[in-house]
Structure 1
Amino acid sequence: MASAIPTTMKAMVFDESGQVSVKEHPVPTIADNEILVKNIAISQNPSEWKFIDYKLGKPGSVLGADFSGIVVKTGKNVRGGPKVGDHVAGIVHGGDVPDKGAYAEYVKADPELVWIVPKDTFSHEQAAAYGIAFWTAVQALYNPKHLGLVEPPEKVAKPEWVLVYGGSSACGLSAIQLAQLSGYKVVTTASTRNHALLKSFGADVTIDYREPDLVSKIKEATGDSVKYGADMIADDETKKITVQAIGPSGGKVVGLNPMQSTEVDRKDVVFSNTLLSTVHGHPISLGPMHIPAAPQDRAVMVAFLKKLPQLVRDGAVKPLPIKLWEGGFDGILAGLQYGREGKVSAEKIVYRLD
């Protein structure tokens, strides 16, 4: 299979002005500890259009993070992990260097930061959607420096309440089913039209985020005993609500905005922000923000990814709702604009590349 790998490929590449377009681009050369994947499907996150709008992409680099495809080559030091022919899905840090980025026909990846998709389970489209959103929920819920919940397949000894603010986002849906899988009770906020979906993912209580006295409604529904909060919207107002909803015994809250202050107006609530980029295990720059290497974050994620195939095989976690955007590479700019306009709700946009 390796002999059939071309030297160039289609990819969504940044130019000097910070915009992206489909160009012929070199197929990445892998190191001894890397794998090369032929992409079948990729999925979209807000980070893609933000990389463009905020001028974060470096000229000549490839856009995109989430991918699903077939391993076509492995480095000589890759042992006991993915092998040629395996269906894998994972993430890369696109927009930074020329030979990484998921919006391409081929992507090189860290074999520890992909998971092998069991046969007859997730499609490539479904697996691609299990990228940044799902992994961010894993990091927010299970990393000890954030909520530090009990990881599946283990369950918490005594059910405790977890608030997921923004449950219809891909991160929110992921957090709901993970928390439920770990034995916690979940109260979540979203538009009423999405409540049935949220309950199908494991939410015990769903409340419309537009409700007046939202904090009081959350406290009433949970007996004022919320111990953990995950703010999947991460603006100042949602942070405030999530912190206020924690019960009188205190607790932990995690947000998704690394630019947001960790200060809160309650001494009995510990607040932290999570950023998935830290799982890559090396320093990363996002515009003016420099993110140091975080070996613990990588270790937590690598350990969880080893469990994920069995969770999928058992049906313990199920696919996120997807919207297959037509056109492959030619449809990406329109899909990004759809996301930029705030039209994505309770679904992941996915593109098929083959």
Structure 2
Amino acid sequence: MKAFVVDKYKKKGALRLADMPDPVIGANDVLVRIHATAINLLDSKLRDGEFKLFVPYRPPFIPGHDLAGTAVRVGANVRKFKVGDEVYSRPRDLRAGTFAEMIAVDSADLALKPTSLSMEQAASIPLVGLTAWQALIEVGKIKPGQKVFIQAGSGGVGTFAIQLARHLGAIVATTTSAANAELVKSLGADVVIDYRTQDFEQVLSGYDLVLNSQDANTLAKSLRVLKPGGKLISISGPPDVPFAKSLRLNLLLRFIMGMLSRSIIKKAKARGIDYAFLFMRANGQQLTEIAKLIDAGVIRPVVDKVFPFDQTAQALAYVETGRAKGKVVITVDG
């Protein structure tokens, strides 16, 4: 099969189009022919080696964390899926590799594709959908009437999280550029802050939850818009000890992550705020619930551009500019 591979960890390193062996499926796997995939900044960070301590892919490896496609073979233990099913997924860590024509996916990470979406639209959903779901529902436990600040509202996670937060009954604030203000309002944002001309710290106060996706300076400022008892959930770091324990990392790595998060946790505790780092995980059941919301018209995908498969490297470079609205998708079989 054709696939794009990372030959070595290197910042801004090139992706190489290669002929790779067809995947071999295990008893719990489904072999999926990929019709579309999508770009995430996680792909850049893995290529650059930022996560190799706790997600240690061995080069050459195939990046890519979103897929929509068709089941072409199922393992002996698989009962939920059959050949011909249209599915979507964010494969689990160390089994990613959707910049390819086929992939073997653990059936627990798979769900039937939302029937109302095209393959390209469906491929835009898994990683950002699961991130928002796990941040707002699992960790944040959002309740109706609570105030939620979602940073970078016009990005991939932001466009999904705004819609999910509104569905949960939250009052939603977000940051974006003036050019994207109408987009985020159409998704359900109540308060829109132009990050180029306004300081969110001067506008917001008394919030119950912040979903941080930006740098360390923004993370620290986010503490000051939360009320005591509020939650600061970061998907951009720093990682903390509970995260290290969840991955069963050794004591040295737990110590390192504890030191990385020590400052923000200390500042959060001083304000009576709970800090949590979220590195989303694969979950087919949650994708099934997300598909129901999409087919019910509660959440819609936001797709910026669709690239052909042979332009995967250009698509990744475009996402790295930070200008994409929503997700950037790649048609694999077109």
Range into which the TM-score falls when normalised by the shorter chain = 0.7 to 0.9
Matched letter for residue 179 of structure 2: R
Matches within 5 A, 1:234-245: 235-245=215-225
2:204 corresponds to: 218
Deviations 1:168-219 (A, max 9, x none): 1111111111110111111111112111111111111111123444322123
How far apart are the structure 2 equivalents of 1:41 and 1:306?
18
2:168 corresponds to: 182
Deviation at 1:270, TM superposition (A): 0.7
Deviation at 1:58, TM superposition (A): 2.1
Q: Secondary structure at the match of 1:263?
A: helix
Q: Secondary structure at the match of 1:336?
A: helix
1:65 corresponds to: 65
Segments of 5+ residues of structure 1 without an aligned counterpart are: 1-8, 150-155, 220-224, 281-300
Q: 1:171 to 1:13 in 2, by over 3 A?
A: same
Q: 1:181 to 1:21 in 2, by over 3 A?
A: same
**Structure 1 residue ranges (4+ consecutive) displaced by more than 4 angstroms after TM superposition:** 16-19
1:39 corresponds to: 34
Q: 1:131 aligns with which of 84, 104, 126?
A: 126
Q: Secondary structure at the match of 1:199?
A: helix
Matched letter for residue 178 of structure 1: L
Q: Give me the identity figure in percent.
A: 29
How far apart are the structure 2 equivalents of 1:255 and 1:45?
16
Q: Secondary structure at the match of 1:195?
A: helix
2:257 corresponds to: none
Matched letter for residue 319 of structure 1: P
Deviations 1:243-298 (A, max 9, x none): 11113x4311100124352415243111111002xx25xxxxxxxxxxxxxxxxxx
Counterpart contact for 1:218–1:245, Cα < 8 Å: yes
How far apart are the structure 2 equivalents of 1:16 and 1:201?
39
Segments of 5+ residues of structure 2 without an aligned counterpart are: 240-260
Q: 1:196 to 1:303 in 2, by over 3 A?
A: same
Instruction: Indicate yes or no: 2:194 matched with 1:208.
Output: yes
2:77 corresponds to: 77
Instruction: Indicate yes or no: 2:325 matched with 1:350.
Output: no
Deviation at 1:350, TM superposition (A): 0.8
Q: Secondary structure at the match of 1:242?
A: helix
2:24 corresponds to: 29
2:156 corresponds to: 170
How far apart are the structure 1 equivalents of 2:132 and 2:217?
20
How far apart are the structure 2 equivalents of 1:78 and 1:228?
39
How far apart are the structure 2 equivalents of 1:203 and 1:212?
16
Counterpart contact for 1:264–1:271, Cα < 8 Å: no
Matches within 5 A, 1:146-161: 146-149=139-142, 156=143, 158-161=144-147
Q: 1:104 to 1:213 in 2, by over 3 A?
A: closer
Counterpart contact for 2:303–2:329, Cα < 8 Å: no
How far apart are the structure 2 equivalents of 1:303 and 1:38?
21
How far apart are the structure 2 equivalents of 1:113 and 1:306?
10
Matched letter for residue 189 of structure 1: T
Counterpart contact for 1:88–1:116, Cα < 8 Å: yes
Counterpart contact for 2:111–2:285, Cα < 8 Å: no
Q: 1:213 to 1:66 in 2, by over 3 A?
A: closer
Instruction: Indicate yes or no: 2:223 matched with 1:228.
Output: no
1:286 corresponds to: none
Deviation at 1:31, TM superposition (A): 0.7
CA RMSD of aligned residues (A): 2.1
Matches within 5 A, 1:256-271: 256-259=235-238, 261=261, 262-265=264-267, 266-271=270-275
1:313 corresponds to: 295
Counterpart contact for 1:187–1:206, Cα < 8 Å: yes
Counterpart contact for 1:165–1:242, Cα < 8 Å: no
1:6 corresponds to: none
Q: Secondary structure at the match of 1:250?
A: strand
Q: TM-score, normalised by structure 1?
A: 0.79
Deviation at 1:93, TM superposition (A): 4.6
Deviation at 1:106, TM superposition (A): 0.4
Matched letter for residue 176 of structure 2: A
Choose between structure 1 and 2 for higher RCO, CA contacts under 8 A separated by at least 6 residues: 2
How far apart are the structure 1 equivalents of 2:299 and 2:194?
25
1:294 corresponds to: none
How far apart are the structure 2 equivalents of 1:189 and 1:344?
14
How far apart are the structure 1 equivalents of 2:290 and 2:32?
19
Matched residues, number? 300
How far apart are the structure 2 equivalents of 1:50 and 1:213?
28
Between stretches 102-111 and 259-268, larger displacement belongs to 259-268
